[in-house]
Chains A and B, each alone.
Chain A
Amino acid sequence: ETGVTQTPRHLVMGMTNKKSLKCEQHLGHNAMYWYKQSAKKPLELMFVYSLEERVENNSVPSRFSPECPNSSHLFLHLHTLQPEDSALYLCASSQGGAATDTQYFGPGTRLTVL
Chain B
Amino acid sequence: EDQVTQSPEALRLQEGESSSLNCSYTVSGLRGLFWYRQDPGKGPEFLFTLHSAGEEKEKERLKATLTKKESFLHITAPKPEDSATYLCAVQPNYGGSQGNLIFGKGTKLSVKP
Contacts and interface: CB of A to CB of B under 8 A. Distances in A.
Contacts of A72: none
Contact of A105 (B32, B41, B43, B100): B43
A46 to B, nearest CB: 11
B4 interface: yes
A4 B42 CA distance: 12
**Size class of the contact patch on chain B:** 20 to 34
Contacts of A55: 96, 98-99
Interface string B17-41: 0000000000000011010100001
A51 to B, nearest CB: 11
B95 to A, nearest CB: 12
A43 interface: yes
A90 B43 CA distance: 7
A101 B98 contact: yes
Interface in B34-64: 34, 36, 41-46, 49, 51
A45 B105 contact: no
Interface residues of A, number: 29
A31 B31 CA distance: 17
Nearest to A103: B101
A12 B90 CA distance: 33
A21 interface: no
Contact of A42 (B4, B31, B32, B42): B4
A102 interface: yes
Given A41-B105, A100-B49, A102-B46, A110 B99 contact: no
Contacts of B4: 42
Interface in A38-57: 40-43, 45, 48, 50, 55-56
A38 B39 CA distance: 15
7 contacts: A55-B96, A96-B98, A102-B34, A106-B43, A107-B41, A107-B43, A108-B43
Interface of A: 4, 6, 31, 33, 40-43, 45, 48, 50, 55-56, 90, 92, 94, 96-97, 99-108, 110
Interface of B: 4, 31-32, 34, 36, 41-46, 49, 51, 87, 89, 91, 96, 98-106
